[in-house]
Amino acid sequence: MLNKLALRNARRLWKDYLNYFLTLCMITALTFSFHSLLFSKDIYEMIHFGNNGELSTAGTMLVTFMAVSTVAILMIVAWLINYMTRFILEKRSREFAIYLLSGMKKKQIAALYMKENFYLGISALFAGLLLGSGLQQILFYVFYKSIGKNYRVNIEISAGSILLTIILYGACFMIALFRNKKKFFNMEIISLLNMDRQNETVNEKRNAIWKWLFYLSIGNVLFLYFLIFTGRITKWAAVFEMIGLVFTFYFFYLGLSAFLMKYIKSKGSLIYKKDCLFLMRQFSSKMRNTCFVLGTLSLLFMFALVGSSLAFMLSDYQNKQLNVEYPFDIILISDNTENDFVKEGTLINENTVPRSTLKYCVYQNGTSEMVDYLYQNLRLFSDKDSDPAMAEGRKAAAYYDYDVYMGITDYNSLRKMLGLTPVALQDNQYLIHMPNRVYQEIKDRSEKPQNSLHIGLDFAGFMTEGFAQNGHNGTDFLLVVPDKRLAGMKKYFSLMAVMASGNVPENLSESLYESAGKIRGYDELADYIKIGSEELFLMPATIQVKSREVLELKFLMSTLSFPLFYIGLVFLCVAFTVLSVQQLSDSNKYKFRYQILNKLGIGKKKIRNVVAKQLFLYYLCPVILSVIISAVFILYVGRQFVIYTGIHTEWILYFGISFVSFLGIYVLYFAVTYFQFNKNIEP
526 near other proteins (CB under 8 A): no
Q: Which is nearer to other proteins, 366 or 601 (CB)?
A: 601
Rounded CA-CA distance 365/387 in Å is: 28
- 216 with 251: CB under 8 angstroms? yes
Alpha helices, H only, 233-368: 235-265, 276-289, 291-325, 342-351
Q: Does 601 participate in binding other proteins (rule CB under 8 A)? A: yes
Give the binding range for other proteins (CB under 8 A) out of 27-35, 273-281, 328-336, 476-484: 273-281
Which parts of 529-568 interact with other proteins (CB under 8 A)?
A: none
- Should residue 106 be labelled a site residue for other proteins when binding is judged by CB under 8 A? no
Tell me which of 74, 174, 597, 642 binds other proteins, using CB under 8 A: 597
Going across the sheet that includes 405-407, the strands are 458-463, 429-433, 478-481, 405-407, 354-364, 490-500, 330-334, 543-545
What residues are paired with 543 via a beta bridge? 332
How many H helices and E strands in the chain?
Answer: 23, 10
Report the nearest approach of other proteins to the CB of residue 193 (Å): 17
Does residue 584 contact residue 352 with C-beta atoms inside 8 Å?
no
First to last CA, the chain: 34
Calculated CA dihedral for residues 387, 391, 396, 400, nearest 10 degrees:
-140
Find the binder of other proteins among 52, 102, 186, 199 (CB under 8 A).
199
How many other C-beta atoms are found inside a 10 Å radius of the C-beta of residue 326? 22
Rounded to a whole number of angstroms, the minimum distance from the CB of residue 610 to other proteins is 10
Pick between residue 158 and residue 595 the one whose CB is nearest to other proteins.
595
Residues 219, 124: Cα–Cα separation, whole Å: 44
Calpha distance 481→457 (Å, rounded): 9
Q: At what angle do helices 207-230 and 235-265 cross, to 10 degrees?
A: 140
The distance of closest approach from Cβ of residue 625 to other proteins in the complex, given in angstroms and rounded to an integer, is 23
277 near other proteins (CB under 8 A):
yes
Q: Which is nearer to other proteins, 402 or 594 (CB)?
A: 594
| Among 71, 390, 519, 596, contact with other proteins (rule: CB under 8 A) | 596
Q: Within a 10 A sphere around the Cβ of 651, how many other Cβ atoms? A: 23
Min CB(670)–other proteins separation in Å = 22
38: left (phi over 0), alpha (psi -120 to 50) or beta: alpha
Q: Which stretch binds other proteins (CB under 8 A): 20-28, 425-433, 599-607, 655-663?
A: 599-607
**In this structure, are strands 405-407 and 478-481 parallel, antiparallel, or unpaired?**
parallel
In the complex, least distance from residue 578 CB atom to other proteins, rounded to whole angstroms: 21
Kindly identify the residues of this chain, within the stretch 645-674, that bind other proteins according to CB under 8 A.
none
266 binds other proteins (CB under 8 A): no
CB of 618 to other proteins, least distance (A): 14
Which residue, 456 or 683, is less far from other proteins as judged by CB? 683
CB of 280 to other proteins, least distance (A): 10
Per DSSP bridges, beta strands 429-433 and 478-481 are antiparallel
Pick 264 or 629: Cβ nearer other proteins: 264
Task: Find the binder of other proteins among 105, 274, 379, 679 (CB under 8 A).
Answer: 274
Is residue 611 near other proteins by the rule CB under 8 A?
A: no
- Under the criterion CB under 8 A, does residue 593 sit at the interface with other proteins? yes
Q: Which residues contact 572 (CB under 8 A, 6 or more apart)?
A: 300, 301, 304, 662, 665
**Choices 228-236, 265-273, 383-391, 435-443 (CB under 8 A): range interacting with other proteins:** 265-273
Which bin fits 152, alpha (ψ -120 to 50), beta or left (φ > 0)?
beta
Contact between 585 and other proteins by CB under 8 A: the answer reads: no
The answer to whether 582 contacts other proteins (rule: CB under 8 A) is: no
Q: What is the DSSP string of 134-196?
A: HHHHHHHHHHHHHTT----------HHHHHHHHHHHHHHHHHHHHHHHHHHHT--HHHHHHHT
Q: Is 356 helix (H, G, I), strand (E, B) or coil?
A: strand
The single residue among 80, 112, 264, 324 that binds other proteins, judged by CB under 8 A, is: 264
What's the length of the chain? 683
Examine residue 196 and tell whether it contacts other proteins (CB under 8 A): no
41 binds other proteins (CB under 8 A): no
Stretch that binds other proteins, among 30-38, 263-271, 312-320, 490-498 (CB under 8 A): 263-271
391 interacts with other proteins by CB under 8 A: no
**Collapsed DSSP state (helix, strand, coil) of residue 432:** strand
| 24: helix, strand or coil | helix
**Contact (Cβ atoms closer than 8 angstroms) between residue 237 and residue 267:** no
205 near other proteins, rule: CB under 8 A:
no
Least separation in angstroms between residue 258's CB and other proteins is 15
Nearer to other proteins, 102 or 201 (CB): 201
Does the footprint of other proteins cover residue 406 (CB under 8 A)?
no
Give min distance, CB of 598 to other proteins, in A: 7
Stretch that binds other proteins, among 33-41, 277-285, 415-423, 509-517 (CB under 8 A): 277-285
- Tell me 54's DSSP state: E
CB of 89 to other proteins, least distance (A): 23
Q: Are 647 and 320 in contact (CB under 8 A)?
A: yes
What is the pattern of x (binds other proteins, CB under 8 A) and - over residues 43-72? ------------------------------
Nearer of residues 15 and 599 to other proteins, judged by Cβ: 599
Figure out which of the listed residues 197, 235, 273, 454 binds other proteins, where binding follows CB under 8 A: 273
Q: Which of 205, 266, 272, 338 binds other proteins (CB under 8 A)?
A: 272
The nearest distance, CB 563 to other proteins, in angstroms, is 42
Q: Which of 230, 269, 336, 386 binds other proteins (CB under 8 A)?
A: 269
What does the H/E/C string look like for 546-595? Answer: HHHHHHHHHHHHHHHHHHHHHHHHHHHHHHHHHHHHHHHHCHHHHHHHHH
Residue 256 or 545: which CB sits closer to other proteins?
A: 256
Whose Cβ is closer to other proteins: residue 288's or residue 433's?
A: 288
Q: What does the alpha-carbon distance between residue 630 and residue 635 come to, in Å, rounded to a whole number?
A: 8
Per DSSP, the three-state class of 390 is helix
* Chain-centroid distance, C-alpha 63: 15
Q: Where are the beta strands (DSSP E) in 368-485?
A: 405-407, 429-433, 458-463, 478-481
> Which residue in 86, 281, 359, 639 binds other proteins (CB under 8 A)?
281
Report the SS3 class of residue 491.
strand
Q: Considering CB under 8 A, how many residues would be counted as binding other proteins?
A: 32
Of 598 and 678, CB closest to other proteins: 598
Instruction: Give, in order, the Cα–Cα distances in Å from 252 to each of 58, 215, 245.
Output: 41, 9, 10
Contact between 91 and other proteins (CB under 8 A)?
A: no
Q: Does 602 bind other proteins (CB under 8 A)?
A: yes
CB of 271: closest distance to other proteins in angstroms?
A: 7
> Which stretch, 123-131, 167-175, 267-275, 332-340, contacts other proteins (CB under 8 A)?
267-275
Q: Which residues bind other proteins (CB under 8 A)?
A: 199-202, 264, 267, 269, 271-278, 281-282, 285, 592-593, 595-606
